[in-house]
Amino acid sequence: MKGDQTKLVHGGDPNPRILGSVVPPIFQSATYEQNEEGGYHDGKYIRMSNTPGHDLLHDKLSLICETESALVTSSGMAAITSALLANLEQGDVLLAENRLYGGTEAFISEDLPRRGVRIERFDGMDPASWGTPPEGAKVLYCEAITNPICRVADFSKLIEWARKHGLFTIIDATFATPILLRPASVGFDLEVHSATKGLNGHGDIAAGLVAGNRKNIEKVRLCLNYLGGHLDAHAGFLLYRGLRTLGLRVERQCENALGLARYLSTHPRVKAVNYPSLESHPDHAHCLEYMDGRGGGGLSMEIEGDAETAQRVCASTRFMANAPSLGGVETLIVRPAASSHASVSPEVRERYGVTEGLIRVACGVEDLEDLVDDIDQALEGSHA
């Protein structure tokens, strides 16, 4: 299998098919007969993430991620916390990019320091500022397309710097999905994803993914085993089903986002549009180099007017729901200052580029014409 969509449709399917079943069944069983002597982490048990249902997902996902191994988890945060906890110990320094997902930010700034892990920041977009990592630096952590202003780092440069200083590298590639970016091929040691978003793509489950080489994934799995962040069997079935159309969905979401970004760039009520496929975006060259110029389904815009005007836009779309999340078949619209970044201090919000009037649109797979119409009427109607 060479093509992404073929891998997504057929990869991982049992051969021969189980009782001829074209769609693999749900293995709704917590425990499995033991037929050999094994240790605690070897017996087939749902919390050990080694049931036949888990194996199917791991095979499909490692194929599409082009990694030796993959591990599904109960949520994106379970993937992120297990990947970090498995690789950090007391006295270590975590070098974290200075713009991260809110849940990750809370974990590294509130929980890790209590375990004796120090957090240092770096600006992923400013290689000139990197210099020498602080003493004790062990893990470098960054994101593929930052939320909500869609910055894309020079990943090869970042890896080169990390390797020079012996850092273990982890990237949250949720916004890119494996369709747009293959972190392993760029040189990252581990990639983590919230499969709640694009990988599942239908907004109906929580799930996560860690992918990398066998040794690194086994280390995370042992940690996940006692933390208890395994993926449930039924959610696993839905994820398996969602994955089958990932390539088609991401392609359409990218087309929609680019079309909408181009339209909004010329809209009189819009001051600025952040989308990396646009030539005007500061990281357009990185988007071209690492993601074939495809910027994903998310874009953000600053509109004329204050927070209330922006809030009115989000509340007056006809079919776009005013809700967080992304990567689903339906388009969602949200004001980051009132949602994903509501609990963040004004200084940090400014560092993230989250202004009061910023609006994020996470494109689904509807028709572009209808997305344009919906946002257009919301922008017109919201003008006080």
Ligand X SMILES: *Cc1c(COP(=O)(O)O)cnc(C)c1O
List the beta bridge partners of residue 361. 299, 333
52 near 21, Cβ under 8 Å? no
| 250 touches ligand X by CB under 6 A | no
| 197 touches ligand X by CB under 6 A | yes
Among 25, 43, 52, 103, binds ligand X (CB under 6 A): 103
| 76 touches ligand X by CB under 6 A | yes
195 near 208, Cβ under 8 Å? yes
| 73 touches ligand X by CB under 6 A | no
Q: How many Å apart are CA 97 and CA 74, to the nearest integer?
A: 24
Task: Pick the closer one to ligand X by CB: 184 or 209.
Answer: 209
Task: Pick the closer one to ligand X by CB: 197 or 249.
Answer: 197
Among 81, 174, 300, 309, binds ligand X (CB under 6 A): 174
Q: How many Å apart are CA 140 and CA 206, to the nearest integer?
A: 26
Q: How many Å apart are CA 320 and CA 297, to the nearest integer?
A: 14
Query: Shortest Cβ distance from residue 147 to ligand X (Å)?
Result: 6
Strands (E), 237-372: 270-274, 298-303, 321-322, 332-334, 358-362
List the beta bridge partners of residue 194. 208
Query: Shortest Cβ distance from residue 254 to ligand X (Å)?
Result: 17
Q: How many Å apart are CA 61 and CA 68, to the nearest integer?
A: 10
State the residue number with the nearest CB to ligand X: 76
Task: Pick the closer one to ligand X by CB: 44 or 360.
Answer: 360
The size of the chain, in residues, is 384
Among 62, 75, 225, 277, binds ligand X (CB under 6 A): 75
| 178 touches ligand X by CB under 6 A | no
Q: Which amino acid is at 263?
A: Y
| 101 touches ligand X by CB under 6 A | yes
Query: Shortest Cβ distance from residue 72 to ligand X (Å)?
Result: 11
Interface positions with ligand X (CB under 6 A)? 75-77, 101, 103, 143, 147, 172, 174-175, 194, 196-197, 206, 208
